[in-house]
Structure formats: C-alpha cells, structure tokens
Amino acid sequence: MLTRLTVAETIKGLQEKQFSSLELTNAYLERIEALDKDINAYITVTAEKARKQAAASDKRRIEGNALSAFDGVPVGIKDIICTKGVRTTAASKMLENFVPPYSATCWNKLENAGCVLLGKLNMDEFAMGSSTENSAFFTTKNPFDLACVPGGSSGGSAAAVAADMAPFSLGTDTGGSVRQPASFCGTVGLKPTYGRVSRFGVIPYASSLDQVGIFAKSIEDCALILSYISGKDEMDSTSVPVEVPDYSVLLDNGVKGMKIGLPKEYFGEGIAKAISDMIKAQAQKLAEAGAEIVEVSLPHTGYALPAYYIMATAEASANLARYDGVRYGLRVERDNLADMFKATRSQGFGAEVKRRIMLGTYALSSGYYEAYYNKTLQVRTLVKKDFDDCFAAGIDCLLTPTAPTTAFRLDEKSNDPLAMYMSDICTVTVNMAGLPALVVPCGELGGLPVGAQLIGAPFAEEKLFRSGRVLENERLIPQFRNREGR
C-alpha cells in the first residue's frame, strides 16, 4: 500500500518509477477522505492544489529535471505555519479566513524541493494545549483509540502520520508540542535545536521557545527532512549559521563509546512506573549496543514547569496583542474602538487562549514583573546550566520518558488546566534550554504507544539519530476503533 511507505521508500519508488507522484497523491487523498471523518486531523485538505503539484512533479521527472530527491513527496503542514495562498487558521476563529500572502521558510524550502501539499493540520488554538481539544473547529482523535487524545498542540500532525494520511508532517514545539503527540501516536518526532530551523512565517506563541519540528515514520525520514529544512535564514534573526550536515549518512555510526545519561528527576513521582520501566529497558538496549549508561542529576528540573508556564504565557500575551480587529483577522463591528477591541478578542479567542493571555499579562504587569517573569528567566538559566554541566562532563545524550502517561481519554483533563499542564513535565526543559530532542516509539501499554525521549547538546542532532536508530522498532500500527474504544 503506497500510503504505508516511509519517506525514504517513497523517494526510492519515485526515482525508480514504481509509481508516479499523482498516483501517490491520489492514494493519500483517498485515504484522507475515507478516514479523516473519524480522526479529524486536517482542517483544510488542498486536493486540487496537491494534484496540480503532483502532475507538475511527474512532468519534471519525465524530463529529467527533478528539483530534488523530495520532488513529488506529499506532506501535511500544521496550520500555524503560513502557506501562501492557502488558508492558515492557527485553529482559531480569530484567523478562520486568513490567507497568508507569503509562506513560512520551512514550507518554502519543501515547496521549492517539489513537495506536494496535502493540506493543513489541526492543532490546539495558537499551539496552546496538550490534547488538540482546544481547536476552535473540532477535536482530533488518536488513531490507536478514537476515545483518546492524540496529544498536542500538534495533534493533527501526529495523527495524520500515524494513520498513513501523510508520509511526514511539520509541527511546532514550544514545550513538547511535537514530542508528546509523537509519543501518544506512535510516530518518530523531532524537536531541533532552537535556531536550527527558521521560524519565519510561523505564527508565534512564545518566540523564545517555539521551534518547527518533524513527524515521520522512521529515524531515517527525520534525518532526511531535517537536512532540507535547516539552515540560516535572513528573515529570522534567531536562526543560526551553523553548518547543516547530511544526517542520513551518519545514521548507522552506532552508539559504541557514547555515554547516555538517565536523569533521576525524570523517573520519580508523577511518572507511571510502567513507562519508567519501558524507558529503562531502552537504556539496556543502548548498553547492549556499546553505550555506557550513567545516572545523572538535573537538580532544577522541579522548577521548570511553573517557570515555563509563566514565561510562555508572558510571551503569548505580547504576541497575541496584534489580534485586535484592526489589521487582519476577525473584526467584530461595534460603535466605538474600545468596544470593537473587546468584542473581537472575546469572540475570536477560545477559553484556553484567554486563560494564557491573562496569566501572561498578570506576570508582566507593574509590581509583578520582577516577582514572576524575571524569576522565570533565572530559573531558565539554572535549567540550562544543569544540561550544560551534563554535556560538559562527557554525556552524549540523555534518555527520559516523553510523557508521564500514555494518551489520556477525551475530556479527561479538559476541565482541569493544571492536570493538563502536567502532561508537559518531561518536555518543557528542552525548550527552556534550546536543546534538540528526539522521540522514538518503544512499544505499547494497553494498546497505546509509548515514546522514549533522547535529549542532546545544542546542534548534536546527529547523536540523537544514531541513538534513536538503535532503539527503532518495527513501526506501531494503529487499530481504528469506534468512539467508545471498543
């Protein structure tokens, strides 16, 4: 079945003319039509555009003018990443009819390589959530159990790849929004080093934490894709001019001689014992492949989650101030400017976005700035120092759980924001420190996937791929079930 192929297999098939891009694209569009009414991964399906792009790709290949190895490969894009001429909503009523006049750099690079856009993927509104239940349009379901969440905020991106409705997808990760859904949906998920991939054209949530990430079916796919979308971008001052290697040629260098750290703070209270045991079993696999396993400590981990939610909401409060009904997006007409602002923001934002704007505004307000926001910056420095000390001591990468549990049930945490925020306990430190992290499926518990998280030093994605390659198992295949999970 064409939609079961990895990106690497798809590239090989296109190059060897086993199938055309149009045949491949039609296979994905047919699968989306058949399955997405139950899963709800896509906000917008760009069927007409995809078929035109695929036909153009086939013509180029016949003429010997393929743009790249990726020419003709389909992709799904999280709906927070701008796509010129294609509606980009951030899953919000505020931007329900927004059609950007430009593309994000990450999509622009893929489009210039000949990739085919299948559509835009569902998410928590403005990337604020851990379950994709905060979308203004509908909730995405987990392909392994339709009664469970796919994770968030990039839940649509994870579900589409898990359900073979896209060979790979792009998401964004501000505090775990690629890695936690990857774990919940049984895909590979990569959050690159901050600055490795341009953020230009990505609708911002928290600018110092946001990073474009990848969902794929294999480590090899992730490595191939990262090489294409990485690099310095003059349109993004935070992108870094660090050389981008061909990651795919380094995959099989193994872990012999590498030192893998197990941070004790990630295996304690709040993490399900069965998940801790599964991750420790992955450490044994790395040891058998020649790595040295060392217990390490990241002593400021316990302060990271509350600090993250102050920092992220403060940046969100500033970033979302632009949605005022004046320049673009929703405008609710009223008799005067003040009432128009109030009505537009009241109707345009959902409950979770309003909650985070208010939290962030409070943290930045006069009299509280020093006590709250400035303290989070100090915690961030300490969290980063913990990681720096580990890597300086010779640790090549760290192995941890990705989430404290498997995917939880729909509505289980939607009325308890604090319980929902705790879903990010294993992931937020990576964003605070600007590090790369990779999630690799390592098995199932009760029919739901579990992912192991590998954390690396800045720009050390190569070591993550090598370690992940050792852990990579046969792909987990979801069983589609009805809404009750029977």
**Active site annotation includes 366:** no
Q: What is the pLDDT of residue 417?
A: 87
DSSP track, 233-294 = -TT-TTS-------GGGGGGG--TT-EEEEEGGGGSTTS-HHHHHHHHHHHHHHHHTTPEEE
Note if 227 is an active site residue.
Answer: no
Q: 288-311 burial, b for 16+ CB within 10 Å, e for fewer? A: ebebbeeebebebbebbbebbbbb
Question: Do 182 and 188 meet the contact criterion of CB atoms below 8 Å apart?
Answer: yes
Predicted local distance difference test score (pLDDT) of residue 418 = 86
Residues 6+ apart with CB under 8 A from 393: 296
For residue 459 the two structure tokens come to: 């720009």
Percentage of the chain surpassing pLDDT 70? 98
Q: Give catalytic status of residue 153 as yes or no.
A: yes
Q: Is the pLDDT assigned to residue 254 strictly greater than 80?
A: yes
User: What average pLDDT does range 163-192 have in this prediction?
Assistant: 98
Residue 239's Cα: distance from chain center in Å? 18
Position 21 pLDDT exceeds 90: yes
pLDDT at 481: 46
Q: Give 483's pLDDT tier (boundaries 50, 70, 90).
A: very low
Catalytic residue among 20, 21, 78, 141: 78
The pLDDT tens digits of the residues spanning 289-326 come to 999 999 999 999 999 999 999 999 999 999 999 999 99
pLDDT in tens, 24-72: 999 999 999 999 999 999 999 999 999 999 999 999 999 999 999 999 9
Does residue 479 register a pLDDT over 70? no
Rounded CA gap, 204 and 181, in Å? Answer: 19
Catalytic residue among 20, 92, 131, 153: 153
Judged by phi (left if over 0) then psi (alpha if -120 to 50, else beta), residue 481 lies in: beta
Choice among 103, 154, 157, 177 that is catalytic: 177
Query: Distance between CA atoms of 119 and 42, rounded to whole angstroms?
Result: 7
Q: How close are the terminal C-alpha atoms of the chain, in Å?
A: 26
| Structural domains of the chain, ranges and CATH numbers in brackets | 2-253+439-471 (3.90.1300.10)
Q: Report pLDDT digits (tens) over 393-421.
A: 999 999 999 999 999 999 999 888 888 98
Report the pLDDT averaged over residues 102-106. Answer: 98
Report pLDDT digits (tens) over 111-131. Answer: 999 999 999 999 999 999 999
